[in-house]
Structure 1
Amino acid sequence: MERLIGTVSMGVRAPIIRQGDDIAQIVVDSVVQATEQAGISLNEKDVVAVTEAVVARAQGNYATTEQIAQDVHNKFGDETVGVIFPILSRNRFSVCLKGIAGGAKKIVLMLSYPSDEVGNHLVDLDLLDEKGVNPWNDVLTEEKFRELFGYRVHPFTGVDYLAFYKELIQDAGCEVEIILANDCRAILDYTKNVLCCDIHTRARTKRLLKAAGAAKVYGLDEIMTASVNGSGFNENYGLLGSNKATENSVKLFPRNCQPVVDAIQKGLQEKTGVKVEAMIYGDGAFKDPIGKIWELADPVVSPAYTEGLEGQPNEVKLKYLADNDFADLRGEELKAAISDYIRHKDQDLVGKMVSQGTTPRRLTDLIGSLCDLTSGSGDKGTPIILVKGYFDNFTK
């Protein structure tokens, strides 16, 4: 009988992960137990994914605000530091900012507007139009922002981020001045020493600042790249991808991840005889149309994955074939014609009309987003995701 179910993504429950746990073995054991309990089997090219959060927990990859403060002071000394383009997030940035403030005497905090890099809005674009503000050119002081827009809270968190970040910096014993601008070079009117906190635009920001005469330029990806007084660290991403652990510590993005996914793949093959693909995933990349947040606050969706997840989908658009090449066919004849077309499709469909609209993105970004949506970020207790049938097509 023809199989009628295609791709399935399911969460797999796991024990609470602690520092020192063998995360690869836990993933292997959890998947084997879950599939046995559910009465399902693993197939070639199924994907087993584990969230970066539990990998970092098992590694014990943490840093305290004191350790962050020490690294910031080592890099900037007693200079006024321009902290520019942070995202508006209590989970992602508040503890980092507390540590940064602990290592500086004065911070000039420059926020982008009307929203941060990942879509958290300080103010609506329509309101900027109403007030005659041009966000590409206008630099607003905190006072001017309040005069124009008053106190505005985030629709989901109920937080006024100007007030929240200002108080956080002051509580760390650091002087603070707040401005709002979208040209990174605006900070140079206040200080020549800059910490770039943007994620996906950080390389351009650093380049522009250095070309404009900045004295010291670092990014969050250059803070905590080596251990400070016994801390964790991430040599590639620094503080990028970190999350709040406690009020005074963050969990860093995991490091040395490739051995983890390789061990998961090997362990499952040894136990089941099936070669699956494995990956570590963080934030997916999808936009919420109401809150306007597009989610991706990690530096990458997947810091490590097995070889079979390299590349992009190579798919044809079924509706294009049905409406064009086989417009005169119906029923089983149409099904047979499309199936035959898929079996003999080109190995590289880039630029071909028949592939138009088939989501030309990397496999790891697509599958990672699926995993992130499946696991959620709350109390589901499923840090492991099993994706079955992702590489199937209409002919399978």
Structure 2
Amino acid sequence: MERLVGTVSRGIRAPIIREGDDISKIVVDSVLSAAESSGFQIHDQDIIAVTEAVVARAQGNYATVQQIAQDIKSKFGGETMGVIFPILSRNRFAMCLKGIAMGAKKIVLMLSYPSDEVGNHLVDLDALDEKGINPWTDVLTEERFHQLFGPARHTFTGVDYIAYYKELIQSCGCEVEVILANDCRTILDYTKKVLCCDIHTRARTKRLLQKAGAETVYCLDEILTQPVDGSGCNEQFGLLGSNKATEERVKLFPRNCAPVVESIQKQMKERTGKHVEVMIYGDGAFKDPVGKIWELADPVVAPAYTAGLEGQPNEVKLKYLADNDFADLEGQELKDAISDYIRHKDADLTGKMVSQGTTPRRLTDLVGSLCDLTSGSGDKGTPIVLVQGYFDNYTK
């Protein structure tokens, strides 16, 4: 019988992961137990994806706000510093900000507007137009912003992030001044020592500041790149990708992840005879149509993956073939023609009209986004995702 199911994404339940657990064995055991329980088979080219959070937990990759403060003080001297372009997030940035504030005398907090880098809005674009504000050139004080727009409450959470961040900094015994601007060089009118908290634009921000005369510039990926007083660390991403663990501690992005995915792949081969692909995933990359958030607060979607997930899809658009090349065919004849075309398609369809409308993104970004949506961020209890049939096409 012809197979009528394509890609299937399954959330796999797992035990609560603790520091020191053998994450590779837990993942393999969980997937095989789920397969036995639910009656599905493991196939070659299946994808096993593991959320970065449980990998970091198993590694015990944590840091306290005091340890963050110690690193900040050693790099900035404990005086006035600029903290620019942070994302608006209690989970992602608040504890980092707390540690930063504990390591400084005064913070000039510069927020981008109308939204942060990942789409959390302080104010609607239409409101800027109505008030005649140009976000590319106008610098707003906190007072001026509130005169124009009132409280900056988040669409989903209802949090006024200007007030929240300001109060958090003050609670650490640190002075604070809030401004809103989109040219990173604006901060140099207030201080020459700057911590760049943007994620995907950080290299450009740092380059512009250094060229404009900044004395000390670091990015979040340069904080906690090595242990501080027994802390965890991340040599590549520092504080980027961290999450709130408790009121005094953050979980860092996992480190040294390649051995984890390779071990899972090897164990699955030994126990099933199947060659699966494996990845560790964080935030997906997709945009919410209502809140306009595009989600990717991690520095990358996938910090580690096996070799078979390198590259991007090489697909043709079925409806294009049906409407153009084979517009005169119907039924089984049309199906056979399209199937034959797929079997003999070019190895690289970049720029070809037949591939228009397909998704020219990296496999890890596509699969990682699928897995992030599958596992969710709440109480589903499925930190492992099994994706099957992803590399199939119409002919399989």
Q: TM-score, normalised by structure 1?
A: 1.00
Question: How far apart, in 2, do the equivalents of 1:187 and 1:87 lie?
Answer: 17
Question: How far apart, in 1, do the equivalents of 2:158 and 2:147 lie?
Answer: 20
Residue 287 of structure 2 corresponds to which residue in structure 1?
287
Residue 232 of structure 2 corresponds to which residue in structure 1?
232
Read off the aligned partner of 1:123 and give its amino acid letter: V
SS at match of 2:134: coil
SS at match of 1:50: strand
1:238-317 correspondence runs (5 A): 238-317=238-317
Q: CA deviation at 1:152?
A: 2.5
Residue 81 of structure 1 corresponds to which residue in structure 2?
81
Question: How far apart, in 1, do the equivalents of 2:227 and 2:4 lie?
Answer: 52
Read off the aligned partner of 1:372 and give its amino acid letter: D
Residue 108 of structure 2 corresponds to which residue in structure 1?
108
Q: CA deviation at 1:151?
A: 1.3
Q: CA deviation at 1:190?
A: 0.3
Check if 1:218 corresponds to 2:189: no
Residues 349-376 of structure 1, C-alpha deviations (whole Å, 9 max, x = no match): 1111101111000000000000000000
Q: Provide structure 1 residue ranges, at least 5 long, that are not aligned to the other structure.
A: none
Question: How far apart, in 2, do the equivalents of 1:374 and 1:39 lie?
Answer: 20
Check if 1:353 corresponds to 2:353: yes
Read off the aligned partner of 2:361 and give its amino acid letter: R
Question: How far apart, in 2, do the equivalents of 1:190 and 1:87 lie?
Answer: 21
Q: CA deviation at 1:297?
A: 0.1
* Large movers: runs of 4+ above 4 Å: none
Residue 331 of structure 1 corresponds to which residue in structure 2?
331
Q: Provide structure 2 residue ranges, at least 5 long, that are not aligned to the other structure.
A: none
Q: Pairwise CA RMSD of aligned residues?
A: 0.5
Residue 46 of structure 1 corresponds to which residue in structure 2?
46
Read off the aligned partner of 1:32 and give its amino acid letter: L
Q: CA deviation at 1:38?
A: 1.1
Residue 120 of structure 1 corresponds to which residue in structure 2?
120
Residues 175-206 of structure 1, C-alpha deviations (whole Å, 9 max, x = no match): 00000000000000000100000000000000
Residue 159 of structure 1 corresponds to which residue in structure 2?
159
Read off the aligned partner of 1:185 and give its amino acid letter: R
| Contact 1:79 1:193 (8 Å CA) reproduced | no
| Contact 2:72 2:78 (8 Å CA) reproduced | no
Read off the aligned partner of 1:368 and give its amino acid letter: G
Residues 111-164 of structure 1, C-alpha deviations (whole Å, 9 max, x = no match): 000000000000000000000000000000111111111113112111101100
Q: Give aligned pairs, total.
A: 396
Q: CA deviation at 1:78?
A: 2.9
Residues 24-71 of structure 1, C-alpha deviations (whole Å, 9 max, x = no match): 000000001110111111111000000000000000000000000000
Question: How far apart, in 2, do the equivalents of 1:261 and 1:298 lie?
Answer: 19
Residue 132 of structure 1 corresponds to which residue in structure 2?
132
Q: CA deviation at 1:210?
A: 0.4
Q: TM-score, normalised by structure 2?
A: 1.00
Question: How far apart, in 1, do the equivalents of 2:166 and 2:246 lie?
Answer: 20
Read off the aligned partner of 2:347 and give its amino acid letter: Q
Question: How far apart, in 1, do the equivalents of 2:381 and 2:78 lie?
Answer: 44
